[in-house]
Amino acid sequence: MDNFEDVTEPVSPSGQFFNTPPLCSYVFGFLELEIPMDDSQTMYLFQNFLPINPRFSSIMVRDQDGKMMWKKIEAKPEDHMKVPIFPKSESIELYDQYFDDYVSKIMMERTPQDKPLWEMHLIKYPTSNAKGTLIFKLHHALGDGYSLMGALLSCLQRVDDPSLPLSFPSRKPSQLLSPKKGFFKWFPSTIFPFFNSFSDFGWSIAKSSMLKDDKTPIWNGEEGVESQPCVLSNLSFSLDEIKTIKSKLGVTINDVITGVIFYGIRLYMQEIDNKATTSNSTGLVLLSTRNIGSYQSIQDMTKADSKSPWGNHISFLHIPIPKLCQPSLSNPLDFVWKAQKIIKRKRSTFTVFLTEWLLDMELKLRGHEAVAKHIYGTLRNSSVVISNLIGPVEPMALANHPVKGLYFTMTGGPESINIAIMSYTRILRITLKTQKGFIDEQKFKLCIVRAFEVISKEVMGIPNKNKDL
C-alpha cells in the first residue's frame, strides 16, 4: 500500500484525462543554443528545474478512497537528464539526421509512471540551426502549454540585463460584451453571439462524435496515428514582415498566420489531389481559457488566489478551412480575411466556455477516461490541430548560454498534422509535426512558404490600416 504522508495535492481532472490509455499527451519545448553545452551542466539544470513546482518531483497514485493524488518522491537526475551519444561525424547534415531521428524516437515514447513525468534531453552536437539543443519533454498532466512554458522561461535570463524580467508582446485579454453604447446598439451584438454560441457548440459536439472531415491528402481517417512515427520540421518568418501585412490588411497577427496556414494547406492539397481543394476540412484551434494578456511568474501561478493558476486551462474551436475556389487563386488575401471573419465571429461567442462546461459535466457523470475519449475523437475527426504561444521579446540565455531559437510541439494526439506557433525576439516560428510516410513534409513546408510569399507580395501597395494585435 502506498504511503500517503507525502501526498501534496489531488490530480486535477485534466491531469487525469491527459494520462489515460486513449490520450497520453506531452508538450516538447526546444531551446536552440548559440554555444555548445557540455554534460557538466546537466546537474545545474536539474537542480534549477526541480523546485519550480512540486509536480516535477511527484507521481500519480490512487489514495484509499480511489482518488488520484500527486505523491512526492525523490527525483533522481539519472531518471530525467538524458545526454544521447551520436556517431562522430564531420558533416552537419548527418548530425541533422541524427537529431531528427532522435527527436522522432523520444516523441513516440511514454515516460514511466513510477517516476515524475518529465525529461530533459541535452543534444550537445551541432545542427544546421544551433551549436547544441536542449529538449524539455513534459507530460500534459503536469500543466498546459502556458504553465509549462512559464516553468521553462523561469530558468532563463535576459542577455542584456539578467536582473530584469523577460518581457513579452502586448496582447489584450478577451473582453466580455458590455452595453456601453446604449441598449439598441448593444442588444444585437449580444443576441447574435448568443445564438451563434449554441449553433457553433452544437456543430462542435457533432464534429467530436459523428461528423468527420473528408478524406484528403492531409487526413485519411486512420486509426492509431498517435503511435506512428512522425517528422518534426520548422519554418521561420520575420515578425516585422508579418506586422506589415497585419497593418496593411487591418487584421491581427493571428489572422495573418491562420490565413497563411490555411492557404498553404489548400495549395498542398491541390498539388497532391486537385479534387481535395474543395473538401470539407477543419482546423482545430487549441485555446487558453485564461483571461490574461501575458505570462505570470511561477510564484503568482502557484498562489491559492491566482488569476491564472497552474494547471490545464484549455478549450478548442473548430475552424472550417476555406476552400480553394478560383476567386481565391486570383486573390489569396481572401484567406486572411476569411480567417479574420471566422475567428472574430467564433471568439465573440461563448462556445469555448460551453465546451469547457461540457467536458466538466462529462467528467462528473462518466469519468476522466470518457473525457479522454471525447477529446481523442475531437482531435481525430479534424484535419489539422493548431496551437500558439508567445515568447520573449528580448534575447535570453540559459546558464550563460545564449538562446538562438525557441519552439514547441505537442504529441499524443491522433492528428496527421500538428502546427505549433511561437514568437521569439523578431522571429515567428511555425513547427510542423507530420505523420511520416503520409505527409510529404518538404512539399508541405514549401506550400506554407509559398502561401506567405504570395500573400506578402499581394499586400504591397496597400495603405496601412492601423489595428491592435
Q: Which tens digits make up the pLDDT trace of 115-137?
A: 999 999 999 999 999 999 999 99
Instruction: Identify the CATH number of the domain defined by range 188-458.
Output: 3.30.559.30
Q: How far apart are CA 2 and CA 7, in angstroms?
A: 10
Q: Which grid coordinates are listed for 78?
A: 539519472
* Cβ-based neighbours of 456, under 8 Å, separated by 6 or more: 241, 245
Cα separation, 451 vs 266, whole angstroms: 9
Question: What whole-number distance in Å separates Cα of residue 386 and Cα of residue 316?
Answer: 10
pLDDT of residue 175: 42
Buried b (16+ CB within 10 A) or exposed e, 41-78: bbeebbeebbebbbbbbbbbbeeeeeebbbbbeebeee
Instruction: Enumerate the β-bridge partners of residue 69.
Output: 10, 61
Does this chain's domain 4-158 share its CATH topology with 188-458? yes
4-158: CATH superfamily: Chloramphenicol acetyltransferase-like domain (3.30.559.10)
10-residue mean pLDDT series, the chain (469 residues): 60 82 90 89 86 88 83 92 92 95 95 93 95 94 80 86 82 44 43 58 66 90 88 95 93 92 95 88 79 56 58 74 73 88 72 73 80 85 90 90 94 93 94 96 97 92 60
CA-based nearest residue to 9, from 54, 52, 51:
54
C-alpha cell at 128: 544546421
Residue 339 CA to residue 257 CA, distance in Å, equals 9
β-strand 417-424 against 427-435: which pairing, if any?
A: antiparallel
Dihedral sign computed on CA atoms, order 444, 447, 452, 455: negative
Distance, CA of 428 to CA of 110 (rounded, Å): 29
Cell 525529461 found at = 119
The model's pTM is 0.87
Would you state the pLDDT for residue 217?
A: 95
Residue 110: what pLDDT?
92
- DSSP letters of 369-387? HHHHHHHHHHHHTSSEEEE
**In the chain, where the domains are located:** 4-158, 188-458
| Torsion angle of the four alpha carbons 146, 147, 151, 153, in this order, in degrees rounded to the nearest 10 | 10
What angle, 0 to 180 degrees and rounded to 10, lies between the N-to-C axes of helices 351-366 and 368-380? Answer: 140
Task: Characterize the bridge pairing of strands 282-288 and 58-62.
Answer: unpaired
Residue-wise pLDDT tens digits, 72-116: 999 999 999 999 999 998 899 999 999 999 999 999 999 999 999
Of 410, 454, 423, 419, give the one whose Cα is nearest residue 439.
419
How far is residue 401's CA from residue 385's CA, in Å, rounded to a whole number?
A: 33
Strands 118-123 and 81-82: parallel
**Per residue in 161-183, is it b (16+ CB within 10 Å) or e — as a string?**
eeeeebebeeeeeeeeeeeeeee
Residue 271 carries which side chain, given as an amino acid letter? E
> What confidence score (pLDDT) does residue 117 get?
94
| C-beta separation of 130 from 33 below 8 A | yes
| Res 179: pLDDT | 39
